[in-house]
Structure 1
Amino acid sequence: MTIRHPAQPVLARPAAPPKAIPHRIASDAEAIAVAQDFAETLRAGASKRDAERHLPWDELDAFVATGLWGISVPRAYGGAGVSAGTLARVTAIIAAADGSLSQIPQNHYYSLEVLRVGGSEAQKRFFYDRVLAGERAGNALAEIGHKDFKRRTRLYREDGGWRVDGTKYYCTGAIYAHWIPTLVSVEEDGASRTQIVFIPRTAPGVSIIDDWDGFGQRVTGSGTVRFDTVSVEPEWIVPFQSSFERPTTIGPVAQIIHAAIDLGIGEGAYRDMLAFVRERARPWIDAKVETAREDPLTLSEIGKVRVRLRAADALLRKAGERVDAAMANPTEETVAAASIAVAEAKILATKAGLLAANKLFELSGTSATMAEDNYDRHWRNVRTHTLHDPVRWKYQAVGQYHLNGRHPPRHGAI
């Protein structure tokens, strides 16, 4: 296969309509079982997709067909309405098989939470139905080139209708999406506010550039999206800023998925490390043992990785419980507790994922660095993904909360 280097960006083609109605998952237990089965089908091709930067169109169609992209749709609207902990566990299971594939639906789930919190009844019914029919949401949230965090992408009225103009970057999932939830700035009563607009991928004026060239998460399709006087319907505009002016779980839900991705990538690296040490690694000469699996220092380090991953998993499960409690009863206290629990899980998932990816090489030896195995994808993926938001700020948020009783700020990065 010819490798297309990211230095040669191209206009991305729109996603094809869903080929079939996805399976309708009915419970948390079924969601986890389906994820485990599907992960096995992903694992074999993950290295090749990464090495060749082969965008996983077929794999995504299969992913959607499992029904996993609809599990966070509330039961009242036909979905499984799984817990936040289950959503995180499903994400980690997929990430252990393919880190990139697990990140692609992150903003899909995020947008469904934005919809649950701030959308009208009509908007919920429409977009949840589209998701259960197999349509995917991506994202166009981030902007670059400015030191502040003001949104330059505008929603404005022209000729009696609504229009969107602007450019977004790091748009994970947008290439594969049928809808692109887009963060916009709109002038209302003399003040600027932010909203989310669910924009159809095929709307005139929408163009996506496949220009993501990060060394990790290579097939997430996290490129550039441009909007050139795109006409949008008022029914596609979902309140956003107002959802952060009161306690809601949009931020914790977004962040628990990110933590799960980091944990899952670490679990994938750990799995490959165990296999390599068992089957191919040699013991250090001073160990005076026959196999690497008997090397006492290797055993000690493997134990450390295992404990760190299990600790991160335990914090992730606890965070899921806190997020579920906040979703059921969103108050200042419950949402703050959820945000802090997720921050704690994110800190440890970051550390555990990076540790596992590093120890894969340290304990396996030089032969583990061969390009044929492509084990470096684990480190590249977890290092790239853990840069989404700095854990150094999560430490201080945790400290402020527990020492001074100060609640963390409400936004998508806590």
Structure 2
Amino acid sequence: MSLTVEEILQLPGLEEMALRAGKAQRQRSVRWPYVAENDGIADWVMGGELVFVTGINLARSEANLLRLVREGHACGIAGLVILTGDAFIQRIPASVVALAEQCGLPLIEQPYLLKMVIVTHLIGTALVQMAQGQRSRDDILGQLLNGDYPSLAIIGQRAAAQQLDLQGPRRLAVLRLGGLDALFTHQPTEDAERQLQHIRQALQDHLQAWSRALATPLPVTVQGDLFVLLLAADEDPRLGLARQYPALQHLSAPLTVFIGVSSLVQDCGQYRQALGEARQALDVAESLLPASGLCDYSELGVLRLLQAIPDKQVIDDFIRQTLGSLLEAGRKHPNTLLHTLDALLMENGNALKAAQRLNIHRNTLNQRLQRIEQQSGHSLDDPLFRMNASVALLVWRMTDAQLQEHT
């Protein structure tokens, strides 16, 4: 795990540094310390920095400090440290503290008597040590996730040395950001990239803070565009991640977070299998767009069977034979009957609830149901037709969602 603002404040020798605002965000990861010598910092930071403001080479007014808080928040810095003393910045204005608290930006006060050379040396040393440990932990987990390791015995020895608890059954969760096409289409590439990295850092910080609070935490690892979490068997990932989802969505706006969860695996030798399962569930979540953003592999049911069919033409033919007669190409909304049938099946055949789901009058629903039976040649009371339609609509929803996304 990376070094957080809170962990920096707990380093021996830095006891005089005090957190004045942004306590709720003290778990933010710190990439490195940066001493600001300019009016603004927006052009000089990339996100994750712990920015120090001395006032030695540049007079810092209250307005300038407010500007630094705003820019730091917008750029995703880890925190802002203001040096105070008689010579330069006598105190941190209350307005600056209030703005930092409002933005959720950790604001730290450091007395001038605590020399910067000591502070940066202690932080730099801790960051190097943490980075070395992080590389080892990432390497261990990466090998297990890829199934490319010399032996479980050696991996176990390395994990024990790095205090990685890989014992016992686990479930694996993967998260991915959706909506990148729109992000890079609607603004300059440089701005989109900056925003993306800001979002990814904020998301990783939040996930790491949540992981630390679990009974048996493991580091959040990154594999390509995936964030990977390993959760203990006694922790319900669906419940925990569902509770975190609103915060994850807020941090990721305007992008969207999708989550896939694996079934339970008994030991670390099965992490590669768990990663494959979680990715399959993630693909389904991105296709079906569930309200929670999450799909559990153990609940995929018939989708697992469909995914095992090598010839996708078989699935296409089944959907066309089951639903093709309900497509009304000559109408303004050709998929109306499909949406109606889907709503009826979603409500377990309850026509009143289906009409409410579709926001239409009951008489309108009845007319559509008559057309469905006429055009399909099947009764809606036929359990076989309802089963086939349910499976076909499940796949159709996935395909329809994908088509809308590409459009």
Asked if TM exceeds 0.5, the reply is: no
RCO comparison, higher one (Cα < 8 Å, 6+)? 1
Q: Which has the larger radius of gyration?
A: 2
TM-score (norm. length: structure 2): 0.22
